[in-house]
Amino acid sequence: MSKGALIFWGLIVVVIVLGLGAAFFVKTGPGDLDSFTQCLEDKGAIFYGAFWCPHCQRTKALFGNSAKLLPYVECSTPDGKSQLQECKDKEIKTYPTWIFTDGNILTGERTLQELAEKTACALPQS
């Protein structure tokens, strides 16, 4: 292999390693909604969903890097064909479902503002 080809492939490897490293640090950094998400949990709100549910994925996406802090309960079995007992006991019928300490239930995709109003958690000012 020529020297030029070695340099080319060496640069490609460096770019890939730097790209993967940057992606790791961007995804694991603190999120803009960390305090809001922590407040949801502190107020007893619970988000029930399923990994295969596109509405649940969009709900998680609203939280960006803060999604990892959501008070989330996975309802689906790993094969996606059944529901876990905890969700059966709570009578979760649709995803996403939010249950609050006052007994109220919200289903479907909800805005951050709706969740803030329901829990009295402050949304950060952008």
Q: Are 8 and 58 members of one domain?
A: no
Is position 98 within any domain?
yes
Domain that includes residue 3, residue range: 1-30
Is position 1 within any domain?
yes
Q: Are 25 and 43 members of one domain?
A: no
Is position 42 within any domain?
yes
Report the pLDDT value the prediction gives residue 14, as an integer from 0 to 100: 64
What is the C-alpha separation between 118 and 75, in angstroms, rounded? 23
Among 16-25, 77-86, 94-103, 109-118, which stretch is predicted with the lowest mean pLDDT? 16-25
The predicted-structure confidence for 48-83, as pLDDT tens digits, reads as follows 999 999 999 999 999 999 999 999 999 999 999 999
CATH number at residue 76: 3.40.30.10
Q: Say what the pTM is.
A: 0.75
Q: What is the mean pLDDT of residues 112-117?
A: 96
What is the C-alpha separation between 125 and 104, in angstroms, rounded? 27
Please, is 93 exposed, middle or buried when counting C-beta atoms within 10 Å of its C-beta (0-12, 13-18, 19+)?
exposed
- Domain count for the chain, please give it: 2
Residue type for position 83: Q
Q: What is the mean pLDDT of residues 36-57?
A: 97
